[in-house]
Amino acid sequence: MIDEPVYDSARRPSPVVEELLEAARYRDLIVQFVRRDIVTRYKRSVLGVLWTMLSPLGMMVVLTIVFSQLFKTTEAYPVYLLSGLIVWTFFAQSTIAAMRYFIWGGSLIRRVYIPKTLFAISAVGAGLVNLLLSMVPLILVMLAIGYTPRMPVLFLPVSIALLAAFALGVGLLFSAIAAYFPDVVEMYEIALMAWMYLTPIFYPEEIIPESFSWWLFNLNPMFHLVRLFRAPIYFGVWPAPERLAAAAVAALGALVIGWIVFTRKADQFAYRI
């Protein structure tokens, strides 16, 4: 009875820190949310989890048919394409889901207290599960065309972790805005489309004219993150330190900014959404 928790609205740590502690305390709820996302997505479909693996494969087949002649010089085009596509799909899915979960969660956070970052964290968590599942077709395609992975694939967990950090940061930032203006979700989806075309997902980096490429690539965090994922698996090399540094700065910077902006506004959300 002595350890009873005491809630005192006047005495609290900084919201940035408080949210971190609370999110850790509610970690079981994150697991529940991720589980619910995965289970409800597949529960009433015949193919179930197979969808996650089939949809990038289908996309790959179509794009390979369309573009492999155009990008003849790109060696093992399906692997190049698929490795970029997986990264992009993860990023797009998790950030959009972060906003949608959060708006959906509006009815919850008006009823019970829960740490509000949980929605974005769970969205990224569900995205990670899907990302790992879609690694299966990538590996199958690699084996099918006789493309053997080399040692640097061991670097992939770091690439994925930075990618997840970036997605979480962006998801939190836009969720904070979406709390005030729900139409931001639609705008973001449109912007995402343009962003994808500006990132070398299905075309080789070389086709961008040199006068643009420096700006386009260095100012685009997703360029670095796609690169960081592709280097070990497609090029079979360890990422260069300066490229790793660029990706890490972009990812951790986005996470810190997103977290601070979101948590400082978090008290308002129960009033707004």
Partner 1 sequence: MHTASEPHPAPGREGECQTSIRLEQVSVRYRVAHERISSLKEYAVRALQRRVNYSDLWALNKVDLEVRRGEVFGIVGRNGAGKSTLLKVVARVLRPMGGRVWVRGHVAPLLELGAAFHPELTGRENVFLSGTLLGFSRREMAGKFQRIVDFAELGDFIDAPLRTYSSGMTMRLGFAVATDAKPDVLIIDEILAVGDEAFQRKCTARIEEFRRQGATILLVTHNRQLTQSLCQRAMWLDHGTVRAIGPAAEVAAAYCEATNAG
d(CA 130, CA 90): 8
Least Å from the CB of residue 28 to partner 1: 5
Shortest distance in whole angstroms from residue 255 CB to partner 1: 24
Tally of CA atoms within 13 A in the half-sphere of 242 that contains its CB: 1
Q: Which is nearer to partner 1, 100 or 243 (CB)?
A: 100
Find, among 158, 128, 146, the residue nearest to 37 by Cα.
Answer: 128
Exposure string over 226-247, b if 16+ CB within 10 A, otherwise e: bbbbbbbbbeeeebeeeebebb
Nearer to partner 1, 10 or 46 (CB): 10
Closer to partner 1 by CB, 15 or 204: give it.
15
CB of 270 to partner 1, least distance (A): 5
Neighbours of 146 (CB within 10 A): 7
CB-nearer residue toward partner 1: 32 or 68: 32
Q: Say if CB 225 and CB 162 are below 8 A apart.
A: yes
Q: Tokens 């989890």 map to which residue?
A: 49
Find the shortest distance in angstroms from Cβ 184 to partner 1: 6
Closest CB to partner 1 among 59 and 103?
103
Instruction: State the nearest-atom distance from the C-beta of 23 to partner 1, in Å.
Output: 13
Q: How far is the CB of 43 from partner 1 (least distance, A)?
A: 6
* Sign of the alpha-carbon dihedral angle for 50, 130, 191, 199: negative
Q: State how far the alpha carbon of 213 is from the alpha carbons of 200, 206, 218, in Å.
A: 11, 9, 8
User: Which CB, 186 or 242, lies closer to partner 1?
Assistant: 186
Q: Is 12 left (phi over 0), alpha (psi -120 to 50) or beta?
A: beta
Structure tokens at 150: 């080399």
Identify the helix (H) or strand (E) that includes residue 64. helix 50-67
Which amino acid type is present at position 166? F
Least separation in angstroms between CB 166 and partner 1: 23
- Smaller CB separation from partner 1, 31 or 145: 31
Binding site for partner 1 (CB under 8 A): 1-2, 4-10, 25-26, 28-29, 31-33, 35-36, 39-40, 43-44, 107-114, 177, 180-184, 187, 267, 270-271
